[in-house]
Structure 1
Amino acid sequence: MKDLKEKEKATKKMVLDPNKTNAAIVKLHDTTEKALEKSKEVQSTQATYFKLNEGLHSQV
């Protein structure tokens, strides 16, 4: 009987609070969007360096 009560407590702890879950999803979404923006910036910078590098090699 004691094991059953412990399992019930553990199960109740496992049930997620919808407000916390939604907040976590929103935070994850925002973080993902920021990372995507940063990735685009990095790609743009890499493309610029690649063009500059190509220009330097074509002058040699």
Structure 2
Amino acid sequence: MSASKPTCPNYSSQHTVKNSSIHNQKPKYQCQNCKRQFVQNPTNKVISKDTIELIYRLLLEKIL
């Protein structure tokens, strides 16, 4: 049972090694060519425009 190694997003190289894991226990890999660290299947969470505006307002209130 041999799993194929993930490919580097920068170089498309399969010369990668497992390098720990992220907060939700997904394995993190590192490319041996460019030293970039990456997750094989990342999940991107979308932040709504309303939430972003709220964050900016709260940051401005704290700064001023």
TM score, norm. by length of structure 2: 0.32
Q: Which has the higher helix share?
A: 1
TM score, norm. by length of structure 1: 0.34
Larger radius of gyration: 1
Larger RCO (CA under 8 A, 6+ residues apart): 2
